[in-house]
Amino acid sequence: MTYQEEFITFMVRAGVLTFGDFTTKSGRKTPYFINTGNYRTGAQAAKLGDYYAACIQENLPGGVSCLFGPAYKGIPLAVTAAASLFRSYGRDLPYCFNRKEAKDHGEGGDLVGYKPQAGDSVVIVEDVVTAGTAVRETIELFKHVADVNMKALIVSVDRMERGTRDCSTLDELREDYGIAVYPIVTVREILSFLHNREIDGRVYIDDAVKDRMEAYLAEYGGR
């Protein structure tokens, strides 16, 4: 299996990728849901970092100064991705993340970890981007930190849904900021891989679930 196919299987087994009847934060009724809050063990964290590292290595084999994880969910993702990049590929990249509230004592500041310098190429590490709010806030934050190049955004799954315009949220970010966006997998890849495929004796996407997912993408998918 490819690392993308392994990642889909990993999400299913971790209870992160589930199927049923859900309501997204935007109020959309969706037949599938991705809850990265269900990762809860050291083994899962280590493996998750491997998938992010594989995606970074494949798409960004060089020219990266540091990884940035937006608080809160992006923090452990940036840490485990950096650890895996070193362990698997010998790339010792620094990482940093933001505080929700600026520290007003000691050294102060908004960032923890590596202090980005002018000219650095920063890669944002996120889970699933819905409205893109955290990414937009990150780009705005860095305007007050240093004159860096926001090189890329790495996400676990591209839901391929419309944002505030006809295109997907990730395409909006590409257009608005000129940032490259690399998902580990897309919802289309999930659909293709899991359709009528057994994982541990269970089929998660049968013909009925596939039809519901196709209908959802037809209604809410980015053009």
Catalytic residues: 103, 105
H/E stretch holding 17 reads strand 17-23
Query: Quick one: CA dihedral 216, 219, 220, 222, positive or negative?
Result: positive
d(CA 57, CA 5): 17
Describe the crossing of helices 207-220 and 187-194 by its angle, rounded to 10 degrees.
160
Give me the DSSP letters along 145-158.
Answer: T---EEEEEEEEEE
CB 169, CB 179: distance < 8 Å: no
